[in-house]
Structure 1
């Protein structure tokens, strides 16, 4: 299994999940500074030009949420996804919010060209990032975290996703200390071997 990643991107969530699951994997670093993600070679891996991509026995998989679910399927003994339908829906509720809203909020800081041609529009998007990311933190504090982790006491793949996005907060102009539940969540995650492992590999 090979994980195509770039440091400090959402692809790190997949690495954390792989570590939690105890699944062996190789990392393939995609050099964003050299624009490898936009090159012809990487287009054969992921034509979207983004990370993560996960090469598995059946081919190449993309999209963070899909990869996290795949990992949970491959290691049921790790209990990274609940069996209870309500808890499962709650986990996915947070994951879908991260993908559709919080990650997009973050992307407005550096990737405004995805949505607008005028540079003045990009600057407006950038100015909004601290506000929109803080609003996401407020929502997650009130309705996303049901305990130390997303589902309460047990870690799930949603926590791998959320933690990775939370590592962007300070760079996005958010003071994490303003959100004690988020801060406590990050501290709890940083005590886990999975997160320590990705830091040791230079992924974060």
Structure 2
């Protein structure tokens, strides 16, 4: 299938991060673009892409819901099969995602751990908003690939108080940004800024990748 992609190389890159968007906004969303730019500054090349339903929205001008998981997984795998065109054969690969995109990445690595060295989630959707009983923990319970989750403390799809009760695989670590929401954005009264939290997420990603690369 033809998949919209955006290639953002970094000078002297130490890894390639293939990053998927969330359910409601494509790879051009401000969060995706800002995060990719910050990851570049951390010495990480980034490949962004759109899932098929997002490209269909752009063509037909209608708001289609996300595709089912099997189609999302097929798309992610197709992207990974195409990374050779960017001449990155020597770089270790990491899968990342914003919200839904991170769930797809974790689901893929649960069944195919050889696809990447690690997984990074920016705002993992532990459950739908206002449906805390409908948990989406399975990808994070059977995964054997090192996984970093950067989560807002008051994320409505999985807050700090909720996450502390979840039984996740030993290879999964969660870093909470203070007062952050699902986009890692804090309230003004917190004393933090959104820019600070997104920058923290990029820095933590680099540290996470450094640690894994040093063991390979």
What is the TM-score of this pair, normalised by structure 2? Answer: 0.32
What is the TM-score of this pair, normalised by structure 1? Answer: 0.33
Decide which structure has greater helix share. Answer: 1
